[in-house]
Amino acid sequence: MKFDQFEWAMHKTLEQINEGNPSAKGKEIKPERLPPLVLAYIGDAVFNLYVRNRLLSYEQNKVRILHSYGAKMVSATFQAYALRQMEKDLTEQEMEIIRKGRNAKSSVPKSASVADYRSSTGFEALLGYLFLEGKQERINDIAEQCFIHISRKLKNNDDNKGENR
């Protein structure tokens, strides 16, 4: 999308928001019709909030620690790792959503490999889809499994660093 098209779309969206567009209120959102990157946009927020909430079980006073671990846990690298660990526990439909998310074209940041970034986009697309479908219990199951896999990986990484000191 060219910048002028982007500016026009932003302007139209803000116009609708500020006018309280009545056609947007109560508009049914059909997750199966949304582009995978839009699902990933929602799923990113879902997983980020899940991780932040879970971290509060362990630390409630040190925001710096919460932010540090939270940022690591929601990184593309760790999301891709957790997804690989739990793929066998996902349904065919869930794997299809992940596949579509993986195949979505987007620019990859330098902080992750292309493969990890694509996998994490698929993971986030799945969480976004489940969220928009109202499947909170399934989100909790998947996010908790990922949280555990990522936590163990972070602990192992810390343990290995301690041995090298």
Report the CATH number that the domain containing residue 111 is assigned in CATH.
Answer: 1.10.1520.10
The helix/strand/coil state of 112 is coil
The 3-state DSSP class for residue 38 equals helix
Closest C-alpha to 104, from 29, 35, 43: 35
- 63 three-state secondary structure: helix
- Tens-digit pLDDT profile for residues 135-155: 999 999 999 999 999 999 988
Domain count, the chain: 1
Q: What is the pLDDT of residue 61?
A: 84
Report if residue 152 sits inside a domain.
Answer: yes
Q: Is the pLDDT of residue 36 over 80?
A: yes
Unique residue bearing structure tokens 């990922």: 146
Q: Out of 4, 44, 89, 116, pick the active-site residue.
A: 44
**20 part of a folded domain:** no
Q: Is 44 a catalytic residue?
A: yes
Domain enclosing residue 116, as ranges: 29-163
Q: Would you say residue 44 has pLDDT above 70? A: yes
| 17 is a domain residue | no
Please tell me the predicted confidence (pLDDT) of residue 165. 47
pTM of the model as a whole: 0.83
Q: Is 46 exposed, middle or buried (0-12, 13-18, 19+ CB in 10 A)?
A: buried
Q: What average pLDDT score do residues 104-131 get?
A: 90
